[in-house]
Amino acid sequence: MDCVQIGSYLAADSLRRRLFCELDHLRAQGLEIAIRYRVLGNLTLIECTARSSRNTLASDQDLRRLFRRRLANLTASMIFDEVEEALVLDTLRTRHPELGEEEVAAVSEYAVALLNEGVGGVLEPSIRLREVAADVEEYLCDSNALVIEGFIRFRMKEYMEELKRSAEEALVRFMAEREHREFVRLLKYFVDIQDQRQEIVHVVRTKENRFELRSSEGQRVPGDYVDTLASDVLGEGVDVADLLISALITVAPRRVVLHFEPDSATAETIDAVFEGRVERCRGMDCKVDGCSIRHPSLTGEDPMAPAKRQ
């Protein structure tokens, strides 16, 4: 016979459901399982007792190893699927009380996505899952009781550091994206209130991955930003895509036609700032000189590949 208590503050209902499912598998392997619940304040403890059935000749040692390994795998999966996000939420609320609940929820979702992608020095999810399961199994070798949240905080300090790093990285990205959205809204406001000075502007990408703005007659549109955009010398750190958007704003076209395939971020920004005014060249009957959609070999690259930022 073997008996283990597993408890949780944050995911008691999920723990109960997972245990019922897992215990069915254990019964199918010849173990008789009994469970009992205890509630201590916000903590729910579930006591699981396993015995070999009459038809099973497994030794107590084999029974204990099988039983606790399955419980360790169950606990590790639960940490990843249920507890991890709750811990990230708690970390954000503690470290960043200035954030509202909607912001905390959005950043937490972002942080869990970063964890699942294995970015920022964090191990790949499958590797982390195996390591967590191994840590839990090792702990259960010497202990008959495990409270999931306490185990994570006090026995998995590196894992908690990963959660904190992911939360901070998610917050940085979230704030940057929010600032970008606000900036785009401001640019769109300027575009909406200004008078259109050009009926149509064609945007062409050159062989050097610079951009040129052309009028409907095919002439280069004048302007300081436009001249800088088409020049061979750009200042260090200048984002060509941002410069393109600035040039388009100063030109104030009624319609914008792109004669190249922009990367997704540039396309999204241009579409947002010049909402309803942006068209993509179809290439087949295009008469604009330098159109990389019509002439796929001009740049020596795949014209459908995103424009390279300098």
pLDDT digits (tens, 9 = 90+) for 41-55: 888 888 888 777 655
User: In angstroms, rounded to a whole number, what is the distance separating the alpha carbons of residues 135 and 160?
Assistant: 14
Q: How many CB atoms lie within 10 A of CB 181?
A: 12
Which residues in the chain belong to E strands, given as ranges?
A: 2-8, 31-40, 43-52, 145-147, 198-205, 211-214, 253-258, 278-280
Per-residue pLDDT tens digits for 281-296: 887 778 788 787 765 5
Per-residue pLDDT tens digits for 2-49: 888 888 887 778 888 888 777 777 777 777 778 888 888 888 888 888
What is the H or E stretch that residue 245 is in?
helix 240-251
pTM, two decimal places: 0.63
Per-residue pLDDT tens digits for 62-75: 777 888 888 888 88
Sheet holding 2-8, edge to edge: 31-40, 43-52, 2-8, 145-147
| Residue pointed to by tokens 């905390």 | 104
- Whether 147 has a pLDDT exceeding 60, the answer reads yes
Query: For residue 99, what are the CA distances in angstroms to 86, 168, 284?
Result: 16, 13, 51
Amino acid letter, residue 158: E
Structure tokens of 42?
Answer: 């916000």
pLDDT, position 1: 79
User: In angstroms, rounded to a whole number, what is the distance separating the alpha carbons of residues 109 and 95?
Assistant: 16
Structure tokens of 79?
Answer: 């940490």
280 against 124, higher pLDDT: 280
- Whether 276 has a pLDDT exceeding 50, the answer reads yes
Give 220's DSSP letter.
B
For the chain, what's the residue count? 310
Q: Which of 75, 107, 82 is nearest to 93 (CA)?
A: 107
Average pLDDT in the chain? 79
pLDDT, position 303: 36
